[in-house]
Structure 1
């Protein structure tokens, strides 16, 4: 306990809030408040040391064999965990077993497959605030330990939430002075405040130079970016602390311009359901729909492409051509797919080799995968598209690595090194001899026995072993005088004598120590094997990236071929024009999808979309945004034809929700998102606005919606899809040159509404709100009352004349545009008949008394006679 308290006190100086798992034999134990907390978090049994004493110490432990499963649960709960291991051989230690902290596991520094999501990276980022007016931008550095990717960029405060959402980190390092500010952009990531001095440009420069063994940083273009240097220093220092003695594989720092990617703020990513569903936890997303990758690293690459679409069309165009060749050349597609099916997660295996934590089965999986990597290289070399053919040289494995792993490992090594049975006998003569002694001692004893019987002429001589006496030669007392001179008496029993010879003593010493010596030698050989493999980490990392690229392209090609997608045109002309747009997720769920066109270009920058709820307005808007994202990610798209101009960001305001934790009502959230769009949108942005202004009174909401629409169309001049139920907004097309009206068609017949999901030019004729409410199961008497109130309101509107145009001056008020009705309104007679029918259906004759039945009949007759 003294040792535990000493280690706990030392660790707490830099990591006061971590749980400490302390190795004691076959368990990792926790003590004091850690034991109480792990009991609360995981339900592990809480016991105590000295439970019969008044100062009993709370204790809870987990078996070392199942450590990873418990770590996964703790990390998912946002906890950081320190691992204290036993050091040295327990059999050779006298007194307290030496122990030390070997690693701290945090959400952003995990590398084990059991703890990591297979199809997503666990990123750690450090955020450095602006240092003054000369450096007004925030600096961000990200590190993915499982791949070694190390990147930095600068952005404005408005762009910061979107950029962090793009990376989707698990953990964010921030200066302690920024603790409160960081809550506004951290999202679901764990915030880890560090003392401000960790974020020092000079300290960061020294850390980078030391870690990468460089003289200067000129080649990285970060020397004049103090914020990036500060954040890089903080992240490297944190990794050194958490990994303790292990040196992770970190690639050179790459400085990226944040303007390289299409801007997508957190709410837009959420609304478009790129990787996370809005409602059902297991619901479909864009990523889950198009992910057909054979490998986890391919899925992660695909995920990064669709969450980080590119503004520059050069790379997406290259991906489009690669997809085209894969679709048109089925033999190439098959030649690339076959070896990919046999590849492990090379990226993470390479990372664990660098950390020294790679397991035997992972190395044997790498060995078995190298021939598949060679076949993949040969298949890629056959392509005529540079994006594919250029990967051939990168994928080709080094024959020296193939030879090393082939010689060193057993065909099927043990799962863990502690079990032995990992290194091949042929790799070490000494190991082979020790194993023969360990495994074949019985055969050797039989050989010695046969030889000694022949030499001594004693037919009853036996060579035996027991745990007390060790190895011995047993001879009956009657034959004891025949033993040779080199026999030494070991033990005298009632009827027998036991002897030992120099040969048998030597065998005994070797055999009894063979098991331990073999295991120790095997550990040493395995450690040497990892060190030898570490020379190939860079090559394996590059090969994993090339394989992941091919896998992601194959996924694009498969989905495009199966769903009949087309290659988009990335144009220099402004705006976008899409024929036959389909929603990539919704079309998978429907037998027949109604495709629609969308044209947004100068002179037609804002479309006011009207039509009924459930008519498909939101699906139409999202389909356009997702087609743009897919095109700029490098995929083909669900449309007959798509021409996509330059897009710098996609901004959405869709759906209604509150944020009670921050004290924001639904309407306030709506206005906050609208304000963000108005501040961030440019004339190259795509904006989706759905039902803005509905969270307040009619006039307030209409006024706000109209002003926002006019701002987007006339002043910002962005490309906007503006869905609304305010029919007054259709008048904007009369006064704003950049506004056009479209609507989602529906027809009403027999009191029921039929949604056609077809988007056509012009405004809608009505909203069908009451019909939709009826479909939703609103009680009939409520529906009847709503219809009566609607008729009264319409009657008042007719008596008071048309409302003045909200979007022009009273003197210049325009007459209402003529609207071609899509269906005939029901006559008063039909309305009356339907009402009487509803009343009849509401009567249960089996429960009425004769008097009640007669009264109901009189009421129905009176209602039928009443004139409208």
Structure 2
């Protein structure tokens, strides 16, 4: 009935039909979502939803009846292919309400021929609440975050609490933040969707920030973030009396956590994802990397938005989705704990020492399904038989690995992982093995996933369903023998069901004892007589309901297995963590062996010494092209125990490799604190608490920012936030404006880094004048990228050496780029004249006369020019001026302007 209705485009007034009335009622309750309205084998959309979906999905827009005299737009997608359409809609920022039929159409028919099948929204699909494999990237967490704010005093920054979960894996974490690091924290978490209170979302000071995030931002009612009831809501969700057993959470953290749970309950509509209790992260536990630095260093994707060419693509050798996610998590937030880093490096060394064991372990891991995501789907009632098999197979692999890796003297990270692998219940594996068939359907409603012999009643139902003809033939043969009538037949019609039929000539025998006690007369025809038996009646009922009964028994088995799995959820999660940890450790060992990486020393010092460092991404690209990467050293650590980090001022021509050198040292620091071996001969790195990078040029026209403005905003963030333990990478500061403006800004920035931030830093520049600062700044070192000139051309050696470049070789590079010879010749002539002019007004004079930078001298109050007109205007309150007073003020302003 519904399927026919879904494709009927008659001219009837559909808005008046019960079905369309039902649609409008459900749509009204979900105004901010596209409504997937289930009609038979399709999800249909109407009105504006249909027009929006048609454009977004590239599907045909049709019509169905009329509403208020106008055609009703309509489009639909097949139920079996809904996931791929959902993926497109979610990627475009849409939210979808999935409305299912909640009763069988045959039940609706019992209420009347025009009765509407009952429907209801069973789920709201948003970017942060996905669980289906088809909608998720195997190697990436799908985080949903909530941000709560606690207003601070006048002189203090606002405090924020961040909660984030991954419904597909059950992770639940909390962290405190503040206005200075909120952007960096969100960049580290990288959620697909962020929830914020409406007042915070509409705050004028934060509006541009929320709009600039590359994620879906969903404002919610402030009541969901109510901190007075947040702790109680959290405790109720996890079934505890108090949160003390989970740890200490700040007020904004608790508020954010309660809001995220409320949102999950709203979107999942009655289903509760199996979240682990929240875990608080300390603010100083990970290296803080802001969004601009992540983009500049291309950690997860290139500036063109591709994974290929990024750091994660270069180092990822994992063979499981869970391992890839764990590696991405570590890369997003490198540890700042030397002990934790050492434990991770020990695990890598363990696998590096036994290549045969590593290969065997990786072969087994490759066969391990993603059990944590399978567990979540089953808990949310979205799983299928293959998810049951994933649990079985994952636990089986874990058990084998635990036995293979067991032994004395294992590194602590490996020992902890083995403990997790051993947590899997063997009896559950055995039960799932007994219960599940070899060939499994995707959906439970398809049936056929329970193994023959597991349930006697199921075997009987299947036998009746699949072999009913053979049963009837066998029964007919037996009845014919009993009656002595070879022409006896067992037949079926919709009125009598199954019956025994004999010719009129044999009917008399059937009506006489002893046969009349066995065969019951039902109907006399002109040439035949029909009988029934108790056995046929029972068989009729069995056969008629055999298929439905078989499916119902399988569904019961499925639910029982899911309930059993739910009781072992914590153990299954431990197994999942163990598998991911082993995968990452083995993968990093494979990486280190293949790429010739070394084990770094990471400690609490301020050291930063890299010998023979290489860029992990560029090196692989050059190898593919048949070229060799030129390794370089870097030493930014202090020379004395109480000294601060050094700044290297890197000069040299374009294309010589300055940016590559800067980036590679930042990436080596990240890899070291991830717990990976690094591309170098030797490395010692004191913990880097914050990493800043200002590399490359890009505009942000959507927010009204030019290339130079973006450069200055990023530079300002560095100079305002970097500290002694930070690593700062700056490339070509000040190049986006006039020469003297840019030189001045770069000059002041270097002095600020040296005197105020006191950070370890690499500063690349084309302003050769800045090299003179090394004579007055004791921790500034000049290095340059070596080049050779040969017959007017420049040869790049890509070697970093002490000293300073005397020129940029820009014209030689322009010649290599193919500029016309006439342009190159003219440029040489102009350059000669400019250099002659520059020699007549050397910068050294400025250096000799300009006092050294100091914080006090940089104070705006002491350095701004005095403007009497502006000072007078600051005292004016226009609303309080009488006409005469306003006239006198004009005369004063005119007099002051003449003096100026």
How far does the alpha carbon of each residue in 1:375-409 deviate from its partner, in whole angstroms, 9 at most, with x for none? 11112313621211222232122022112212322
Select which of 211, 216, 229 maps to 2:237: 211
> Which residues of 2 match residues 291-306 of structure 1 at below 5 A?
291-306=316-331
Structure 1 runs (4+) greater than 6 angstroms displaced: none
| Greater mean deviation of Cα atoms: 789-798 or 513-522 | 789-798
2:753 equivalent to 1:712: yes
Select which of 62, 78, 81 maps to 2:93: 78
2:634 equivalent to 1:601: no
Select which of 96, 99, 110 maps to 2:119: 99
Provide the residue aligned with 2:848 in structure 1.
808
Task: Tell me, in whole angstroms, the C-alpha distance in 2 between the residues paired with 1:109 and 1:40.
Answer: 24
Provide the residue aligned with 2:628 in structure 1.
592
Task: Tell me, in whole angstroms, the C-alpha distance in 2 between the residues paired with 1:811 and 1:743.
Answer: 27
Select which of 180, 185, 190 maps to 1:168: 190
Provide the residue aligned with 1:824 in structure 2.
none
CA pair 588-138 structure 1, distance change in 2 beyond 3 A = same
How far does the alpha carbon of each residue in 1:281-313 deviate from its partner, in whole angstroms, 9 at most, with x for none? 253111111111110000000111111101111
* Structure 1 unmatched ranges of 5 or more: 813-868
In the alignment, is the contact (CA less than 8 A) between 1:804 and 1:810 conserved in 2? Answer: no
CA pair 557-759 structure 1, distance change in 2 beyond 3 A = same
> Which residues of 2 match residues 13-32 of structure 1 at below 5 A?
15-32=30-47
CA deviation after TM superposition for structure 1 residue 12, in Å: 4.8
| Greater mean deviation of Cα atoms: 47-56 or 111-120 | 47-56
Give secondary structure in 2 for the equivalent of 1:141: strand
> Which residues of 2 match residues 502-513 of structure 1 at below 5 A?
502-513=534-545
Provide the residue aligned with 1:145 in structure 2.
167
Select which of 179, 188, 194 maps to 2:214: 188
Provide the residue aligned with 2:703 in structure 1.
662
In the alignment, is the contact (CA less than 8 A) between 1:87 and 1:97 conserved in 2? Answer: yes
CA pair 684-369 structure 1, distance change in 2 beyond 3 A = closer
CA deviation after TM superposition for structure 1 residue 461, in Å: 2.0
CA deviation after TM superposition for structure 1 residue 248, in Å: 0.7
Select which of 525, 530, 537 maps to 2:569: 537
| Greater mean deviation of Cα atoms: 241-250 or 277-286 | 277-286
Select which of 50, 54, 60 maps to 1:35: 50
> Which residues of 2 match residues 510-659 of structure 1 at below 5 A?
510-590=542-622, 591-602=627-638, 605-659=646-700
2:723 equivalent to 1:682: yes
CA deviation after TM superposition for structure 1 residue 130, in Å: 2.1
Task: Tell me, in whole angstroms, the C-alpha distance in 2 between the residues paired with 1:56 and 1:699.
Answer: 66
In the alignment, is the contact (CA less than 8 A) between 2:406 and 2:418 conserved in 1? Answer: yes
2:449 equivalent to 1:427: no
Task: Tell me, in whole angstroms, the C-alpha distance in 2 between the residues paired with 1:797 and 1:61.
Answer: 72
Task: Tell me, in whole angstroms, the C-alpha distance in 1 between the residues paired with 2:792 and 2:521.
Answer: 111
Provide the residue aligned with 2:363 in structure 1.
338
CA pair 4-529 structure 1, distance change in 2 beyond 3 A = farther
In the alignment, is the contact (CA less than 8 A) between 1:335 and 1:376 conserved in 2? Answer: no
In the alignment, is the contact (CA less than 8 A) between 1:349 and 1:362 conserved in 2? Answer: yes
Task: Tell me, in whole angstroms, the C-alpha distance in 1 between the residues paired with 2:616 and 2:223.
Answer: 48
Task: Tell me, in whole angstroms, the C-alpha distance in 2 between the residues paired with 1:414 and 1:112.
Answer: 16
2:487 equivalent to 1:460: yes
> Which residues of 2 match residues 346-361 of structure 1 at below 5 A?
346-361=371-386
Task: Tell me, in whole angstroms, the C-alpha distance in 2 between the residues paired with 1:611 and 1:29.
Answer: 63
Task: Tell me, in whole angstroms, the C-alpha distance in 2 between the residues paired with 1:625 and 1:811.
Answer: 33
> Which residues of 2 match residues 305-384 of structure 1 at below 5 A?
305-382=330-407, 384=410
How far does the alpha carbon of each residue in 1:203-245 deviate from its partner, in whole angstroms, 9 at most, with x for none? 211210110111112233335x221121111111000000011
CA deviation after TM superposition for structure 1 residue 85, in Å: 1.2
How far does the alpha carbon of each residue in 1:530-565 deviate from its partner, in whole angstroms, 9 at most, with x for none? 122111111111110111011011111000011111
Select which of 814, 817, 835 maps to 1:773: 814
> Which residues of 2 match residues 174-323 of structure 1 at below 5 A?
174-180=196-202, 181=206, 183-185=208-210, 187-222=213-248, 225-279=250-304, 281-323=306-348
CA deviation after TM superposition for structure 1 residue 52, in Å: 10
In the alignment, is the contact (CA less than 8 A) between 1:473 and 1:500 conserved in 2? Answer: yes
CA deviation after TM superposition for structure 1 residue 648, in Å: 1.1
CA deviation after TM superposition for structure 1 residue 675, in Å: 0.3
How far does the alpha carbon of each residue in 1:54-74 deviate from its partner, in whole angstroms, 9 at most, with x for none? 344322211111111111111
CA pair 751-139 structure 1, distance change in 2 beyond 3 A = same
CA deviation after TM superposition for structure 1 residue 613, in Å: 0.4
CA pair 234-53 structure 1, distance change in 2 beyond 3 A = closer
| Greater mean deviation of Cα atoms: 475-484 or 92-101 | 475-484
CA deviation after TM superposition for structure 1 residue 49, in Å: 2.3
Give secondary structure in 1 for the equivalent of 2:633: strand
In the alignment, is the contact (CA less than 8 A) between 1:163 and 1:258 conserved in 2? Answer: no
In the alignment, is the contact (CA less than 8 A) between 1:735 and 1:807 conserved in 2? Answer: no
In the alignment, is the contact (CA less than 8 A) between 1:367 and 1:405 conserved in 2? Answer: yes
RMSD over aligned CA atoms reads 2.1
CA pair 680-478 structure 1, distance change in 2 beyond 3 A = same
Task: Tell me, in whole angstroms, the C-alpha distance in 1 between the residues paired with 2:297 and 2:24.
Answer: 46
Task: Tell me, in whole angstroms, the C-alpha distance in 2 between the residues paired with 1:473 and 1:811.
Answer: 116
Provide the residue aligned with 1:481 in structure 2.
508
Give secondary structure in 2 for the equivalent of 1:760: strand
Provide the residue aligned with 1:129 in structure 2.
149
How far does the alpha carbon of each residue in 1:785-818 deviate from its partner, in whole angstroms, 9 at most, with x for none? 11111122233345x2634443331799xxxxxx
In the alignment, is the contact (CA less than 8 A) between 2:772 and 2:844 conserved in 1? Answer: no
| Greater mean deviation of Cα atoms: 262-271 or 376-385 | 376-385
Task: Tell me, in whole angstroms, the C-alpha distance in 2 between the residues paired with 1:7 and 1:240.
Answer: 23
In the alignment, is the contact (CA less than 8 A) between 1:364 and 1:411 conserved in 2? Answer: no
CA deviation after TM superposition for structure 1 residue 726, in Å: 0.4
CA pair 391-469 structure 1, distance change in 2 beyond 3 A = same
Task: Tell me, in whole angstroms, the C-alpha distance in 2 between the residues paired with 1:424 and 1:290.
Answer: 42
In the alignment, is the contact (CA less than 8 A) between 2:492 and 2:499 conserved in 1? Answer: yes
Give secondary structure in 1 for the equivalent of 2:473: helix
Provide the residue aligned with 1:62 in structure 2.
77
Give secondary structure in 2 for the equivalent of 1:259: coil
Task: Tell me, in whole angstroms, the C-alpha distance in 2 between the residues paired with 1:639 and 1:504.
Answer: 83
In the alignment, is the contact (CA less than 8 A) between 2:386 and 2:441 conserved in 1? Answer: yes
Task: Tell me, in whole angstroms, the C-alpha distance in 1 between the residues paired with 2:559 and 2:27.
Answer: 28
CA pair 810-502 structure 1, distance change in 2 beyond 3 A = closer
Task: Tell me, in whole angstroms, the C-alpha distance in 2 between the residues paired with 1:292 and 1:21.
Answer: 39
Provide the residue aligned with 2:133 in structure 1.
113
CA pair 645-810 structure 1, distance change in 2 beyond 3 A = closer
| Greater mean deviation of Cα atoms: 459-468 or 740-749 | 459-468
CA deviation after TM superposition for structure 1 residue 273, in Å: 0.8
Aligned length: 809
CA deviation after TM superposition for structure 1 residue 3, in Å: 6.0
In the alignment, is the contact (CA less than 8 A) between 2:157 and 2:179 conserved in 1? Answer: no
Task: Tell me, in whole angstroms, the C-alpha distance in 2 between the residues paired with 1:437 and 1:4.
Answer: 42
In the alignment, is the contact (CA less than 8 A) between 1:353 and 1:530 conserved in 2? Answer: yes
CA deviation after TM superposition for structure 1 residue 258, in Å: 1.9
CA deviation after TM superposition for structure 1 residue 573, in Å: 2.5
CA deviation after TM superposition for structure 1 residue 179, in Å: 1.6
Give secondary structure in 2 for the equivalent of 1:111: coil
Task: Tell me, in whole angstroms, the C-alpha distance in 2 between the residues paired with 1:192 and 1:728.
Answer: 50
TM-score by length of 2: 0.87
Task: Tell me, in whole angstroms, the C-alpha distance in 2 between the residues paired with 1:739 and 1:52.
Answer: 76
CA deviation after TM superposition for structure 1 residue 730, in Å: 0.6
| Greater mean deviation of Cα atoms: 801-810 or 443-452 | 801-810
In the alignment, is the contact (CA less than 8 A) between 1:380 and 1:391 conserved in 2? Answer: no
Provide the residue aligned with 1:49 in structure 2.
64
| Greater mean deviation of Cα atoms: 413-422 or 561-570 | 413-422
CA deviation after TM superposition for structure 1 residue 271, in Å: 0.7
